[in-house]
Amino acid sequence: MAKYLNIILCLFLLSCTQEQAKQTVQTPEAIQSLPALHIQPATYVLGDIKEGEAAIATFIIRNNNPEAIELVDIQASCGCTVAEPDSYIIGAGGFTQLKVAVDTTAKQDGIKKSVFITDSLGNKATATLTFNVVSNPHLKMGSVKGIFDGQCASCHFEPLKAAIEPSKLYEVGCAMCHGEGAVGAYAPDLRHHDTQTLKTIIAQGVGKPQMPGFAVKHGGPLSEQQIHDLANWIASLP
Ligand code: HEC
Ligand code: HEC
């Protein structure tokens, strides 16, 4: 039933558009120039993507043919690209979405990937995705000693030295792992520890490369005073 309603609606819309076409400024050439199999946008510009994260874009595939089509071939230019339409069948004048995802592992700089689409009437169209892969320091996690080492230090060590306010210190040094307000994220919730336990753990760490000792004497960036204030601040959180 829904199908018939659809067809009736389509016919109705079609007659309306034909009516309007006579009145609107669109020239016959402009109408004819629409590709039978139309990808919108033809090129999707995604900007910067961190290496290892998927580049994802959704295209619209329009069927400007007077009859329904089936997408019979969808080929990506590289095995790293997956392209999946919501539907392989597109009614006359209808459209479907095409989701394209590119794996950026081990890629660098400017990347252009294309997906080649062919319909059952032999029409062809290309959906292109461009993006820039920027380096992702977190990919090398396995090969480093810890968050204070090498290039990791520029974000996980240096900014902590200058942070005096405990809330600010937490923000630049802990929130990225323990979450805003210490409620837990990648690393555990910190709100159930007393001040003394917090001081000890912050100073000495837990023996993991992600959570080394933050005290200067354990190779970290924080003074006794900073740790004292930070522990008190965390213990006071609701
Ligand atoms: C450019 C700044 C920067 C550098 C360099 C950096 N990190 Fe991070 N790190 C962050 C930020 C910001 C987060 C919070 C999560 C996010 O935004 O990816 C984070 C989160 C983390 C996490 C929590 C897990 C996660 O991905 O969310 C770990 C573990 C980590 N970093 C380890 C490292 C190690 C090890 C290095 C060095 C190889 C390093 N980081 C280099 C900024 C950095
Ligand atoms: C790069 C991620 C990362 C950063 C940054 C980080 N931690 Fe951690 N933290 C961890 C991980 C991982 C654990 C251990 C989880 C486990 O034992 O499995 C941990 C454990 C802890 C614990 C013990 C929690 C428990 O219940 O066992 C405390 C307390 C703690 N961190 C405080 C801090 C404070 C305060 C800061 C900021 C100065 C900080 N951490 C920065 C990742 C991080």
Domain 34-134 in CATH 3.30.360.10? no
Confidence of residue 122 (pLDDT cuts 50, 70, 90): very high
pLDDT, tens only, 165-199: 999 999 999 999 999 999 999 899 999 999 999 99
Spatial separation of the C-alpha atoms in residues 130 and 113, rounded to whole Å: 6
Higher pLDDT, 120 or 149: 120
pLDDT attached to residue 50:
87
pLDDT attached to residue 135:
81
pLDDT attached to residue 29:
52
Cα–ligand 2 centroid distance for 108 (angstroms) = 32
Quote the DSSP letter at residue 137.
G
Confidence of residue 17 (pLDDT cuts 50, 70, 90): very low
The domain locations on the chain are 34-134, 137-235
Q: How far is CA 111 from CA 45, 73, 82, 130, in A?
A: 10, 23, 15, 6
Most confident of 42-51, 86-95, 131-140: 86-95
Confidence of residue 151 (pLDDT cuts 50, 70, 90): confident
DSSP notation for 156-186? HTHHHHT--SHHHHHHHHTHHHH-GGG--SS
Taking CA atoms only, the protein residue closest to ligand 1 atom 22 is: 177
Asked whether the predicted pLDDT for residue 13 surpasses 50, the reply is no
* pLDDT > 90: percent of the chain: 64
Spatial separation of the C-alpha atoms in residues 78 and 90, rounded to whole Å: 26
Asked whether the predicted pLDDT for residue 14 surpasses 80, the reply is no
Confidence of residue 19 (pLDDT cuts 50, 70, 90): very low
Residues with CB under 6 A from ligand 2: 147, 156, 173-174, 176-178, 187-188, 190, 193, 198, 201-202, 206, 208, 210-211, 214, 230
Q: Give the phi and the psi of residue 110 in degrees, each rounded to 5.
A: -75, 125
Asked whether the predicted pLDDT for residue 24 surpasses 70, the reply is no
* CATH architecture group of domain 137-235: Orthogonal Bundle (1.10)
- The reply to whether the predicted model has a pTM over 0.95 is no
Asked whether the predicted pLDDT for residue 56 surpasses 50, the reply is yes
Confidence of residue 216 (pLDDT cuts 50, 70, 90): very high
Q: Ligand 2, residues 158, 174, 191, 228: which to mutate, most atoms within 8 A of Cβ?
A: 174
pLDDT attached to residue 36:
95
Asked whether the predicted pLDDT for residue 48 surpasses 70, the reply is yes
Q: Provide the Cα torsion 112, 118, 119, 120; round to 10°.
A: -170
Cα–ligand 1 centroid distance for 138 (angstroms) = 6
Asked whether the predicted pLDDT for residue 78 surpasses 60, the reply is yes
Residues with CB under 6 A from ligand 1: 137-138, 140-141, 144, 147, 151-152, 154-156, 176-177, 186, 210
